[in-house]
Structure 1
Amino acid sequence: MRKFLLLAIIPILSFSQDKNAAETKVSEGIILHDGGKFEEALNKYEEALKLDKNNLFALSEKAMTLEASKKYDEAINICKLAISTYPKEDIKTVYLTYGNSLDHARKPQEAIKIYDEGIKKYPNFHQLYFNKGITLVNDNQIEKALEQFQKSLVLKPDHPGSLNAIAALSREHRIISILASLRYLAVDNKTSRAKANLDSVIDLMQQGVTQTDENNISLNINEKTMEQAAGNGKKENNFSMVDVVLSMTAALDFDEKNKNKTQCEKAIDKFESIFAVLKEGQKNNKGFYWEFLAPYFIEMKEQNLTEPFTYIAFLPSQTEDIKKYHHDNAKEIKRFYDWSKNYIWK
């Protein structure tokens, strides 16, 4: 009896040891992948798979490295193997790699189909919606792409990629683009992408406002925007009144009383104005950006956090006044981040 038990235990122990050894190899492969040594990483995954055939960890990482190596067909085959072998395991990242590989292989419709399969199985995984959105952008289906980025944000409100995508794709609707960029800057204000979002905000805020000479300012507001602001074009995500107020506030940059203000101080005035108009228009407007993004900025103003937020958003400019504010007002900066972290998304 004891001999039988011993013989039964030995294969189990052996299997466990092989699995552990295989996963050690996979971990080594990940380090190589992160260092850009894709072929060496693939060799490690092969060693892992010899130790433990069809090890899910190894298959998942191998597929990702194959995709990074632009070996899309091989990556697709590995993803198919993983999905068929482990239908009841957590394989959401495999669906991600599968869809990405199809997209990069210029098979957008097949990629969308795979993302949809993944979304059906993992409806709370924001990355699948985001990557589906990227595929739709590449396929020039912009409105559908924006819907996916919105879904990604609802699941993960601090996802930089979704915020950046919305900001970039919505520049013709400048208030939406500005709000998305500002929210992005609340999440990331240190990278090159943060600098691009700040530059976009500054550019959009000055849109239609020019100083023609020392005493005259030209204020050009789109006729359609004026009609919508007057209530003649009610529709979802209509920020026309906010748009008009922003233009009027931007014109005040050239006023004598504001000539000595820094760019950041002028931005604070603009943000205070448009956040106030968001509050006024909240009850009579609808749409994703009114219902999801606008309340964040309305509450920010109500918490008297517009000033520290603006200095946070302008940090990529690295001007001396910005750096000084961060140095002298660490408590206010922290107060903003504490509020933002605990903000309850509607």
Structure 2
Amino acid sequence: MKVKVLLLFLLISGAYAQNKVDAEKLVNEGVILHDKGDYTGAIDKYSKALEIDKDNLLALSEKAMSLNSAGKYDESINVCKLAILSHSSDDLKNIYVSYANSLDHLKKTDEALRIYEEGIQKYPNYYQLQFNKGICYTNSNRYSEAISCFQRALLINPKHAGSLNAIGLLEMGDHRIPAILAFSRFLIVEPQTSRSKKNLENLKKILTQGVKQTDEKSITININSSMLPDSTGVKKEDDFSQVDLILSMASGLDYDKKNIKKTEVENFIRKFEVICASLEETKKDNFGFYWKFFAPYFIEMKNKKLIEAFAYIAYVDSDSEDVVKWHKKNQAELDKFYNWSKDYNWKNNQ
């Protein structure tokens, strides 16, 4: 009798293991289809995986994501609820992202934020929850709260290009220096993509913001009043007014005789060196996320004489002849820069 029971157990265990293997194979096929944009095909693969292994968490997680991408938000939410009920003790961080993201798409902002917060409480070190919560705030025009979420995402993952991109775009209107630092870091993390091309243009635009040549001998520099120091003398959080003023003066020198014949990258290097030097000179009395997180990185970049390499990395999408030549001749400088940036200790900035 014991032999029969053991044999039955082994048969059941073997069938379960085979079901799990077959289900995971279908999930992998679904992921490939999802990455190609075939969400319907992917969802079909995940559904078949769940037919043979009904509680497979990976299949549930991927199905919820594909349903979300296909615009089937209610169905995605139902899958997420099922996963949470059947896998309460498992890793559900991506389930919470899909769940809240679907609610956000349905304009159920308060519910979405509640689910994001529930996920963050369970998985405080998962940057995607903070990032997507920031997107939810952005969608409801709550930009200050959105920026705080993107900042927290970067504290968890300093290489997260999405958060860098979002901060740059949200800050570029009234907070030029934080936007410059965010876009600059973005171009290091994600060069040669469609977003990097746009962000290089954003960076070039805000570097020369307010500076205009009116005729051959005249230059007008308009200063945004929000960039000026507080008249009360009280220091504000993330006050870059001094750096901003110095940058405006440096940008005005683009039209000076000694600079007008320089290449665009050479003038970029000159201005960026001014920014970094000004950050170092004024950091002592300043505070805030951008001063603590970004400023030390760029100050160290200057002190290690890596700004030239950074500039040519930033301009790699420009296809300018001088940029192409520099990249061909300076692989050692590029390696030196990337090794430094890869090994940079961001924990000191938290």
- So what's the TM-score if we normalise by structure 2? 0.96
| CA–CA separation in structure 1 for the residues paired with 2:227 and 2:54 | 62
Q: Deviations over 1:148-187 (max 9, x none)?
A: 0000000010101000000000011111111100010111
| Structure 2 counterparts to residues 211-226 of structure 1, below 5 A | 211-226=213-228
Question: Do the aligned partners of residues 227 and 238 (structure 1) sit closer, same or farther apart at CA in structure 2, a change above 3 Å counting?
Answer: closer
Task: Output the CA distance in 2 between the equivalents of 1:258 and 1:144.
Answer: 41
Which residue does 1:58 correspond to in 2? 59
Distance 1:17 1:182, change over 3 A: same
Cα gap change, 1:225 to 1:21, in 2 (>3 Å): closer
- Compared CA separation, residues 41 and 225, structure 1 to 2 (3 A): closer
| TM-superposition CA deviations, 1:103-123 (whole Å, max 9, x none) | 111111111111101000000
Aligned equivalent of 1:242:
243
**Equivalence for 2:16:** 15
Distance apart, 1:7 and its partner CA: 2.1
- Corresponding residue for 2:126? 125
Deviations 1:55-86 (A, max 9, x none): 11111111111111111101100000000110
Matched residue, 1:268: 269
Is contact 2:143–2:170 with CA below 8 Å preserved after alignment?
yes
CA deviation after TM superposition for structure 1 residue 280, in Å: 1.0
CA pair 257-231 structure 1, distance change in 2 beyond 3 A: farther
Q: Tell me which residue corresponds to 1:322.
A: 323
Counterpart of 1:284 in structure 2 is 285
Instruction: Give the Cα–Cα distance (whole angstroms) in 2 for the partners of residues 226 and 21 of structure 1.
Output: 64
Match of 2:204 in 1: 202
Moved more, 61-70 or 40-49: 40-49
Structure 1 residue aligned with 2:254 = 253
Q: How does 1:148-227 map to 2 (within 5 A)?
A: 148-171=149-172, 172-227=174-229
Superposed, 1:126-145 pairs within 5 Å as 126-145=127-146
Name the structure 1 match of 2:40. Answer: 39
Contact between 2:175 and 2:227, CA under 8 Å: does it hold in 1?
A: no
Structure 2 Cα separation of the partners of residues 242 and 111 of structure 1: 38
Note the alpha carbon deviations across 1:7-60, whole angstroms, 9 max, x for none.
Answer: 221111111111111111111122222222222222222221111122111111
Distance 1:29 1:154 in 2: 33
AA partner of residue 263 (structure 2): T
Instruction: Tell whether the 8 Å contact from 2:208 to 2:251 is kept in structure 1 after alignment.
Output: yes
Letter in 1 for 2:23: A
CA distance in 2, matches of 1:222, 1:181: 20
Cα 1:267–1:83 shift into 2, 3 Å: same
Q: How many Å apart are 1:300 and its aligned residue?
A: 0.3
How big is each residue's C-alpha offset from its partner over 1:264-319, in whole Å with a ceiling of 9 and x where there is no partner?
Answer: 10010101111011011111100000000111000000100011111111112111
Alignment-mate amino acid for residue 193 of structure 2: T
Find the aligned partners of 1:341 and 1:319 in 2 and give their Cα distance.
27
Aligned to 2:91: 90
Q: Distance in 1 between the 2:224 and 2:100 partners? A: 41
Moved more, 205-214 or 282-291: 205-214
Q: Residues 150, 227 of structure 1: CA spacing in aligned structure 2 closer, same or farther, 3 A cutoff?
A: closer
The separation in 2 between residues aligned to 1:319 and 1:144, in whole angstroms, is 39
Residue 223 (structure 1) shift: 4.4
CA RMSD of superposed structures (Å)? 1.3
Asked if residue 26 in structure 1 is aligned to residue 27 in structure 2, the reply is: yes
| Secondary structure of 1:283's aligned partner | helix
Matched length: 345
Which stretch has the larger CA shift, 282-291 or 191-200?
191-200
Amino acid corresponding to residue 89 of structure 1 in structure 2 = D
Counterpart-to-counterpart distance in 1, 2:303 and 2:258: 26
Q: Secondary structure at the match of 2:284?
A: coil
Task: Provide closer, same or farther for how the CA distance between residues 146 and 320 of structure 1 changes in structure 2, counting only shifts above 3 A.
Answer: same
Cα 1:101–1:223, aligned 2, differ >3 Å: closer, same or farther? closer
Question: Counterpart of 2:242 in structure 1: which amino acid?
Answer: M
Please report the TM-score for the alignment, with normalisation by the length of structure 1.
0.97
